[in-house]
Amino acid sequence: MATDFALYLRRFLTSHLAGLRGCSPNTIASYRDTFKLLIVYFRDEKSIPPGKLTLDRVDAAAIKGFLDWLENGRGNSTSTRNQRLAAISSLHTWLQSEDPARMACCQDILAIPAKKQAQPTVNHLTVEQTRGLLAQPDRSTRRGRRDATLLATLYDTAARVQELADLTVRDIRLQHPAMAALTGKGCKTRHVPLMDNTAALVAAHLAEHRLDKPGHDDHPAFFNQHGTKLSRGGIAWIIRKYQAKTNDPPLADAQISPHVLRHSKAMHLYEAGVPLPYIRDILGHVDLSTTEIYARASTEAKRKALEAAYPDVVTDDLSEWNQDPGLLEWLTNL
């Protein structure tokens, strides 16, 4: 017979997350992995088998022990620890309304604070490095043309890797103004403009594979040799493949992933003077505070702002120093 923990957990993952909230499969998988680890913790550290794990045993003290186990026993980072806590908190926020008798216990768990962590740096490429990476595919080959289009689309749209993997032919509009419809977190769709060069590459890619003909609306825009959509790992592998071919040492040694290209596009937009609300909409952020990491990280933008504010206060002309004998005498006697 299933325990109350098992019954509530199944309803939370299926009826609530998948049904009511419409969370993506990746989000549900992340929550699922958290509770798999929680069950393993009770089994291995508390000697409580899954078949006997009840809600009464899942209290604030147990959750704090679980979080410590993640960090000290499994070597998880602070961000991973906080992500697991967020999943557990989400379950208990929902559980309060499902079983009000457990509200006090739920609120004790919800009061567990996330652990503070150092502000992460935004890993991104320069414009020159990005241009060098995107120029690597051999466009004389069919595979090279596909990869060149994929990299250009990934960068130009600042898409998350799953958003690019899920992109279908119907999501692409090539008539002016060209744009791509990206479906991101929470199944929310946003429309991102495609620059002329990227739109031309996409048009040629679709025409080469005859995807611009009727009846292919639901076909993946980027696919493997079996005709199925590329996986997130497959897209990351393509990026690493072309990074390995570059002759630019800083680019070859950089930590590059699909998300780094997303960061790079955002940084380049900010440094070009695009307002943060526009960048937020392109990236699909819910809160502008999330987008503000690019403002904090942009040293170049800060330098340009200072130069614009104080253009002629400090100069590199040292002639006045040599022409002032009083100043030179004072410095000599200092």
- Tokens found for residue 108: 């004790």
Q: For the chain, what's the residue count?
A: 334
187 within 8 A of 22, measured Cβ to Cβ = yes
> Does 294 qualify as catalytic in the annotation?
yes
Element at 179 (helix H, strand E): strand 179-183
From the list 89, 125, 86, 124, the residue with the least C-alpha distance to 107 is 89
In whole angstroms, what is the distance from residue 5 CA to residue 144 CA? 51
> Does 139 qualify as catalytic in the annotation?
no
Catalytic entry in 16, 21, 139, 185: 185
Catalytic entry in 102, 205, 262, 280: 262
* CA-CA-CA-CA torsion sign (24, 26, 29, 35): negative
- Tokens found for residue 266: 């955002």
- Enumerate residues 6+ apart whose C-beta is below 8 A from 165: 220, 222, 229, 230, 231, 232, 235
- Do the bridges between strand 179-183 and strand 189-193 make them parallel or antiparallel, or are there none, so unpaired? antiparallel
In whole angstroms, what is the distance from residue 330 CA to residue 322 CA? 13
Report which DSSP code applies to 183: E
Q: At how many degrees (to 10) do helices 258-271 and 299-309 cross?
A: 0
Catalytic entry in 81, 92, 102, 160: 160
> Does 52 qualify as catalytic in the annotation?
no
153 within 8 A of 198, measured Cβ to Cβ = yes
In whole angstroms, what is the distance from residue 311 CA to residue 306 CA? 8
> Does 124 qualify as catalytic in the annotation?
no
> Does 185 qualify as catalytic in the annotation?
yes
Question: Mapping DSSP to helix (H, G, I), strand (E, B) and coil, where does residue 193 land?
Answer: strand
> Does 285 qualify as catalytic in the annotation?
yes
The residues carrying an active-site annotation are: 160, 185, 259, 262, 285, 294
